[in-house]
Amino acid sequence: MTLERWRHLTEWPLTAAAAVFLVAYAWEVIADLHGPQLFAAETVIWATWCVFLVDYAVCLVLAPHRWRWFYTHLFDLAIVVLPMLRPLRLLRLVTILAILQRSAGTAFRGRVLVYVAGAGSLLVFTAALAALDAERGAPHAHIETFPQAVWWAFETISTVGYGDYTPVTDVGRLVAVGLMIGGIATLGIVTATLASWIVDRVAQTEIDTRSATRGQIHDLSAQVAELKALLEKKSA
């Protein structure tokens, strides 16, 4: 079994695990679960983390150059380490982005905007969940409901920051930092994609113009040759 083969086989199972994780965590936070329901949600969350832990361990074992793979995949390591630093809910945001990064790394430019839109939506949703989880019940908290958390997430990812809702806990502020960085990165991807599209359109226009010019020159040369042949025939 090679590393590439393993990653290919686990791509969809990990995506499914991330989706199950997101549903369980959203249920836990939005519904503010207690008792047996909270236990069930936490069990699902920890089960999905076990899946990611196994994936990381297998990838590390199968890597041809383990040390190089280790320091070039610190993002994967964060997925495994951060859950142990509870109650840091930033790990919720990291999981989904890792799966998207793995599946969309070789996407064509035409799919980049779709990827960015999906990643941005997941980023806002997971950040809103993480912020609400960290802020709800804290002294002097401004974010107490999910709609408030979503509005705050949109403000933060767009770097607008009206200031009507601000995190008061350390975890909430860390979520805000990650969300702002994600917003800047998303805007950069969109800008780069648009710039690349414009450059390609200009280049294609120049190619079409040159092709048309060459065609016109060829037709003109043919007409000149025909006229020359006609004159030579009449003079003869």
62-80, pLDDT tens digit by residue?
Answer: 998 889 988 888 777 777 7
* CA gyration radius, the chain: 28
101 with 116, same domain?
Answer: no
15: domain CATH number? 1.20.120
Whether the pLDDT of residue 106 is over 50: the answer is no
Structural domain for 132, as ranges: 107-236
Q: The tokens 């949109």 sit on which residue? A: 154
- For the chain, the domain total comes to 2
Same domain, 164 and 100: no
Q: What six digits make up the tokens of 217?
A: 């020159």
User: Is 217 found in the same domain as 134?
Assistant: yes
The CA distance from 173 to 170, in Å, is 5
Residue pLDDT, tens place only, 23-56: 888 899 999 999 999 999 999 988 988 888 898 8
pTM for the model = 0.70
Examine the domain organization and report whether 118 and 230 are in the same domain: yes
CA atoms of 191 and 207, how far apart (whole Å) = 24
Q: Output the domain CATH number for residue 189.
A: 1.10.287.70
Question: pLDDT, tens digit, for every residue of 78-101?
Answer: 777 764 433 333 444 455 555 555
Domain limit, last residue, from 105, 128, 151:
105
